[in-house]
Amino acid sequence: MVRNTSALVGTTQARPGAFGFLTDTTLCIGCKACEVACKQWNQLPMDDFGFTGRSYDNTGDLGATTWRHVAFIERVADREGRRPTRLQPFQSNWLMFSDVCKHCVNAGCLEACPTGAIIRTEFDTVVIQQDICNGCGYCVPACPFGVPALSPLDGKAHKCTLCYDRLKDGLEPACSKACPTDAIQFGPVHALLDRAKVRVAELRDQGVDAQLYGDLALGGTGGIGGLNALFILTAPPEVYNLPAQPELPQRRVLPAFLTTALAALALGLATLLTFWRTEKEGAHG
Amino acid sequence: MAKMGAGHYRQASVQVVNTEMAPGYYGLPVIHGPHWRWSIVFYFVLGGLAGGSAVLAAVAQLVGGYWARPIVRAGRYLAVLAVLPGPLLLIIDLGRPERFHHMLRVLKLRSPMSLGVWGLIGFTATALLNALQQVAEDGLLGRRNPVAHALRCLPTRLLAATSALPAFFLAGYTGVLLGATAVPLWARNALRLGPLFLCSALSSAAAALSLLIGHRPTARRAQHALERVEQVAVLGELILLETLRRSDTVVTRPLREGREGLAYTGARVGSALALVLHSIAKLLPRSPHVWLRMLGSLAALVSAFLLRAAMIFGGRRSAEDPVATIAITRKDTGSPSTAP
Ligand code: SF4
Ligand code: SF4
């Protein structure tokens, strides 16, 4: 994994006092306790009861009623197309990855929301206020990570709240509480960041190609300013269906309005000239 | 996906396993697409038509003489008629329509949808005022009605000028709105969509007004002006449609395949047809060739509709394509390695 942005590795613009997750995929055993604990605490209805037929992952994706999702990635062949003949130091030949809302430092969903339903809380997490959301659906494609979704049940957008109600009462989120291997850790983002860096270094010493996802070099790029929900990965982000260097969509608002204004100016002038010419022609003929 | 017959099976190498693997995670989408469907397509088309008509009416009011009166009149009416269904189309698209007014809690400068709501309100207000004055001028409120008198006394040119800015905004902001998402097709073309929608708005409005005014002898000069504007706008539209399609083959795939591809091709053909038919009508002897011109205007209108449909449904397809999302989010290294 070549990264030419080494100065940005391990740094984010997380505000002091921000809380978040560190999801260490090397510790995950794919038990889905987080998925279940999240459903239970947040009283989310069950998803389609069926088999995807792909892997042990029958959840598939984050959605309106799934705020933690454990992906099961089978290492069938490596980049050169060779099948692995030896077990990896971790997780045999499976990668398990518990996905969640990234609670971006600058969040695309939050900036897009036209009702102000999406807010940044005192814990620096990103929460959709259910009494405000009117289901316009703009936050859904505005999230670079495919997190929020509209629910057909109530027509509103839903996603992980980082258990705002539990944080209010001084409890840690349900998923990290339930995780039996501490693959999901909860705490102040700056502490998690330090812990993540130590862990990545440790893994590298053991010969694992580990990297942090969620800093300014990987995952928290393009104006996002880092993720308050960090991950430790052992393969390129795309393998986990994560974008490597996403961009904050709202960075394009001003430039796009500028080109639109230029076009408006050009078209307005052309129209003016046309009418003026037609006016002149009439005066002469 | 490569098909493996019995003969291939024996030779199947690990390479086959690798190429058969879809990129990313079992080929599932990386991002979530929008839910927008036909009501939004119609809103985009009508918003463009309304904005374009208001611009044409304003310009006709400002620099046109008596000959431009039909454009002012039809433009003011069409602007209001086209924009009035807008809020309804937007509200029925909401997951919770009864909460539409929550849009009015805030004004967010970095959210094109929030700006758009306020822009729509501003436009509707100016368009209504302009149309009401037209109603008064047309004597539909009665000659001695004091309200009608007051409306007629409003400074006409100022009214026209103030309606132009929100009109341009309404016609173009929808492109910015699409560009400010993570959808690859829209994100990659964020700078082009606004200008493209503007061109299409102006050309479709000129076409609609030309059809509304009709080709009677007294409207010759008005038709002439509208035709010129339509041709300039359609030319810009055509250039943008072509550069967009050729810009990035991975991201614009939905515009080349399936029903969305068909719609996009239809938009290109419609614009080209509008340009060609109007040019032929001009070049041929014994003008005006009314039918050719009407056909050209119709083609411009159809093109405006197909463009919005192709862009919105194409964006939905684009969001489902992990290859496109991976391609636009890989910046530091060359090609992404997708096999675990
Ligand atoms: S990951 Fe998506 S939903 Fe979560 S805060 Fe970031 S933009 Fe919003
Ligand atoms: S769906 Fe709800 S939360 Fe999402 S942008 Fe619209 S109003 Fe905001």
Q: DSSP of B88-125, one letter per residue?
A: HHHHHHSSSGGGGGGGGG---TT-HHHHHHHHHHHHHH
Phi first, then psi: give them for residue B11, nearest 5 degrees. Answer: -85, -5
A205 touches chain B (CB under 8 A): no
B1 falls within a domain = no
CATH, residue A30: 3.30.70.20
Peptide bond into A84 cis (omega under 30): no
Among residues B36, B170, B39, B45, which one has the least CA distance to residue B92?
Answer: B39
B265 touches chain A (CB under 8 A): no
- Minimal Cβ distance to B55: which of A75, A115, A268: A268
Q: Are B215 and B260 in contact (CB under 8 A)?
A: no
Query: What average pLDDT does this structure show over A175-185?
Result: 97
Report pLDDT digits (tens) over B247-256: 888 999 999 9
Instruction: Report the distance separating Cα A232 and Cα A199, nearest Å.
Output: 8
Instruction: Report the distance separating Cα B184 and Cα B189, nearest Å.
Output: 8
Report pLDDT digits (tens) over B137-171: 998 888 788 999 999 999 999 999 999 999 999 99
Summary mean pLDDT of chain A: 92
A103 with A158, same domain?
yes
Report pLDDT digits (tens) over A79-118: 566 666 666 565 567 889 999 999 999 999 999 999 999 9
What's the gap in Å between A149 CA and the centre of ligand 2?
10
Question: Nearest bound ligand to CA A108?
Answer: 1
Alpha helices in A102-220 (DSSP H): 108-112, 139-142, 164-168, 174-178, 189-205
Among the ranges given (A1-10, A146-155, B39-48, B115-124), the one the predictor scored with the smallest mean pLDDT: A1-10
Ligand 1 pocket, mutate which of A145, A227, A242 (most atoms under 8 A from CB): A145
Query: What average pLDDT does this structure show over A222-246?
Result: 95
Measured in whole angstroms, the distance separating CA B307 from the mean position of its chain's CA atoms is 7
A173 with A194, same domain?
yes
A285 touches chain B (CB under 8 A): no
Among the ranges given (A51-60, A204-213, A239-248, B223-232), the one the predictor scored with the smallest mean pLDDT: A51-60
Which 319-338 residues of chain B touch chain A by CB within 8 A?
A: 319, 322, 325-326, 329-333, 336-338
The yes-or-no verdict on residue A146 having pLDDT over 50 is yes
Number of domains comprising chain A = 2
Indicate the angle between helix axes B38-63 and B190-213, nearest 10 degrees: 70
Q: What is the pLDDT of residue A83?
A: 63
A257 touches chain B (CB under 8 A): yes
Angle (nearest 5°) at CA B206 between B200 and B207: 85
Phi first, then psi: give them for residue B307, nearest 5 degrees. Answer: -60, -50
Summary mean pLDDT of chain B: 90
The yes-or-no verdict on residue B63 having pLDDT over 80 is yes
Q: Are A224 and A104 in contact (CB under 8 A)?
A: yes
Q: What is the pLDDT of residue A48?
A: 77
Q: Are B163 and B132 in contact (CB under 8 A)?
A: no
Do the chains contact at B106 and A115, CB–CB below 8 Å? yes
Query: What average pLDDT does this structure show over B314-324?
Result: 96
Tokens of B267: 């938009």
The yes-or-no verdict on residue B240 having pLDDT over 90 is yes
Number of domains comprising chain B = 1
Q: What is the pLDDT of residue A54?
A: 78
A120 with A210, same domain?
yes
Tokens of A263: 């076009």
| Domain that includes residue A268, residue range | 250-285
Q: What is the pLDDT of residue A53?
A: 82
CATH, residue B226: 1.20.1630.10
A198 with A279, same domain?
no
| Domain that includes residue B214, residue range | 32-333
The dihedral through the CA atoms of B169, B171, B172, B174 has a sign that is positive
Query: What average pLDDT does this structure show over A47-53?
Result: 83
Q: What is the pLDDT of residue B141?
A: 85
Among the ranges given (A150-154, A277-281, B108-112), the one the predictor scored with the smallest mean pLDDT: A277-281
Q: Are B233 and B301 in contact (CB under 8 A)?
A: no
A109 with A181, same domain?
yes
Is the ipTM, as predicted for this complex, more than 0.95? no
Which 64-103 residues of chain B touch chain A by CB within 8 A?
A: 64-65, 67-68, 93-97, 99-100, 102-103
Residues in Cβ contact with A157 at an 8 Å cutoff, skipping those fewer than 6 apart: A64, A117, A128, A133, A135, A137, A139, A140, A148, A149, A150, A151, B95
A190 with A270, same domain?
no
What's the gap in Å between A136 CA and the centre of ligand 2?
5
The yes-or-no verdict on residue B334 having pLDDT over 60 is no
Among residues A175, A147, A146, A149, which one has the least CA distance to residue A162?
Answer: A175
B119 touches chain A (CB under 8 A): no
Q: What is the pLDDT of residue B223?
A: 94
Query: What average pLDDT does this structure show over B48-59?
Result: 98
A185 with A263, same domain?
no
A243 with A258, same domain?
no
Higher pLDDT, B181 or A93: B181
Q: What is the pLDDT of residue B143?
A: 79
Query: What average pLDDT does this structure show over B88-106?
Result: 97
The yes-or-no verdict on residue B120 having pLDDT over 60 is yes
Higher pLDDT, B340 or A224: A224
The yes-or-no verdict on residue B10 having pLDDT over 60 is no
Question: Nearest bound ligand to CA A249?
Answer: 1
Indicate the angle between helix axes B38-63 and B85-93, nearest 10 degrees: 160
Phi first, then psi: give them for residue A91, nearest 5 degrees. Answer: 60, 30
The yes-or-no verdict on residue B288 having pLDDT over 80 is no
Report pLDDT digits (tens) over A186-206: 999 999 999 999 999 999 998
Q: DSSP of A72-91, one letter per residue?
A: EEE--S-TTSPPP-S--SSS
E runs forming strands in chain A: 19-24, 68-74, 94-100, 118-120, 126-128, 149-150, 157-158, 184-188, 211-213, 229-233
Q: What is the pLDDT of residue A6?
A: 73
Among the ranges given (A1-10, A39-48, A99-108, A135-144), the one the predictor scored with the smallest mean pLDDT: A1-10
Query: What average pLDDT does this structure show over A171-187?
Result: 97
SS3 of residue A142 by DSSP? helix
Minimal Cα–Cα distance from B239 to chain A, Å? 13
The yes-or-no verdict on residue B221 having pLDDT over 80 is yes
Do the chains contact at A271 and B179, CB–CB below 8 Å? no
Looking at chain A, the whole-number percentage of residues with pLDDT higher than 70 is 91
Query: What average pLDDT does this structure show over B221-248?
Result: 95
A21 with A155, same domain?
yes
Instruction: Report the distance separating Cα B328 and Cα B326, nearest Å.
Output: 6
A51 with A150, same domain?
yes
Ligand 1 pocket, mutate which of A12, A66, A113, A126 (most atoms under 8 A from CB): A126
A51 with A148, same domain?
yes
Q: What is the pLDDT of residue B119?
A: 98
B11 touches chain A (CB under 8 A): no
Among residues A263, A265, A267, A257, which one has the least CA distance to residue B203?
Answer: A267
A231 with A269, same domain?
no
Q: How confident is the model at residue B9 (pLDDT cuts 50, 70, 90)?
A: very low
